[in-house]
Chains A and B, each alone.
Chain A
Amino acid sequence: MRVQEKIIEGLLWLSAAITVLVTASIIWVLLSESVQFFSEVSIVRFLTEKEWTPLFAEKKFGIMPLVAGTFLTTAIAIAVALPIGLTIAIYLNEYAHARFKTFIKPLLEVLATIPTVVYGFFALTVVTPFLQSFIPGLAGFNALSAGIVMGVMIIPMISSLSEDAISAVPRSLREAAYGMGSTRLQTAFGVMVPAASSGILVSVILAISRAVGETMIVAIAAGQQPRLTLNPLVPIETITTYIVQVSMGDVPHGSLEYRTIFAAGMTLFVFTFLLNNLSFWIKKKYQEKYD
């Protein structure tokens, strides 16, 4: 009996330990291939060259155009999702009836369950033609419509996390504001949002991290032309799209071209890892404590 209990506990422990193994494998895979990549291409070239053309005859290995593309689509997505998501969070907390809230929250979550390849189709075939009708210079592939659609996708992420943060602020603070004669709007922006600021910040950081790693929307709608630009109207390429582009072609395993996707993946991993841990740190350090 005791032996059996110990064996079961051991197996359960093993299952939990596998998660550490997964992290270790990810880091090992990215590092080992990147190290070989950087033995052929200096890290200075990688960080400072202004062109990314590893698949061409004349190879340039500057990651900056891919980073710029990723940054651009992410910035557009956040510019769409933050104002809308935060307004929804405030509206549901300060204005809406409890019954409306329980009805609308699952509906908003539907936005997050749609597969991203479907959003990509939407960006390419609906949003881009629509935007082209009043932005004449808009190319068929562009960062703008990919970013906007990505923003729609992450609205529920910002709204639900921010809403949790705002509803964790104690009632007494809200009632004190009302007692001073504030309107709901003044209460929201004068008291509730500042009190929940760390939680709202965490929601935004996690949304950024999600947008940086998003692949299919940008692969379908933003183009495959690495370009060091902040112009949202022209085709660009993100880090994730580049990895997809190489995976679709027939680059031989073990070649320098093959290793570029691991160097690009390493860059992506570092970004999202830093963002995620920044959010954990803020959550732990600045968690508002009320009694």
Chain B
Amino acid sequence: MTHKKTKIYMGCMLALVSVFGLYNFTIYADDDAQYKTPLSEKALHGQALWQQNNCFSCHQLYGLGGYLGPDLTNVFSAENKGPEYIKAFLNSGVKTMPKFRFSEAEKEALTTFLKEVDASGYYPNYNATITPDGWVTIEYKNEKSQE
């Protein structure tokens, strides 16, 4: 016979897992156009190259990745940087950066990927607002302000 306490714990587990299931479904199926950041075919190719060459071992996007190199979230639109700057760096092998041999088409794909990442938001989010309850209201790109 199952102990009374075990039954209670199993009930708690069932309740928690049910909420978790609903929560996961909402996240996976979420299709809110306001937060959608679709990638073009060329950018998807760039994203695949980014992963195949493990670029995030040194670089970050939205501060996520390794810290040996700079964050590249907004490198496309940054002052004095942009597409030519990105392309010049890709095969440079400067400092710790491996000496890659990207073709022109691959450089273009990676640059397009970074362009579309750039269009998805800001990092660092300098215009974010910090409220007294500890919350941070971030600035969304293209007037996609929230709250």
Does A pair with B?
A: no
**B-binding residues in A (CB < 8 A):** none
**A-binding residues in B (CB < 8 A):** none
